[in-house]
Amino acid sequence: MITVYRGAKAPEALAVVITSGQSNLDLTTVSAVSLIVRDSQGVERTWTATVSGLSTAQLTATHAFAADGSDVPLATEYRVMPQLTVPGGVRRCVPFSLTVLE
């Protein structure tokens, strides 16, 4: 679980470490990462992320929050699922919780 405050603004960012785990996916083949984010009311949006620290077994995806604080407008729990763009399509990762506090 990761925690941020409602209205988090750039330069605040969410950094997620993704590992190949049991999939044995070569993470150096990842060309893009997006984060599918769903709030407790079912509203879903897609955040873009930059990729760094890339190796065959691990990468870091970082999403810089919007400058106007609109990425996390509610103090609630968000469900975040990373999606990796790889040759041949998109691979979904294990989702995690993002807790947003007042």
| 58 vs 73: CA distance, rounded Å | 30
| 65 vs 7: CA distance, rounded Å | 9
Look at residue 102 in the predicted model and tell me its pLDDT.
95
Residue with tokens 């709030």: 39
- Residue 81 sits in a domain whose CATH number is 2.60.40.10
Q: Which sign does the torsion angle of CA 18, 79, 64, 8 carry? A: negative
Alpha helices in 1-102 (DSSP H): none
Look at residue 24 in the predicted model and tell me its pLDDT.
86
pLDDT, block means (10 residues), the chain with 102 residues: 93 96 93 97 96 96 97 96 97 96 96
Entry pTM? 0.93
Domain count of the fold of the chain: 1
Look at residue 33 in the predicted model and tell me its pLDDT.
98
What is the C-alpha end-to-end distance of the chain, expressed in Å? 16
Residue with tokens 């605040």: 12
Q: Which domain holds residue 35?
A: 2-101
Look at residue 101 in the predicted model and tell me its pLDDT.
97
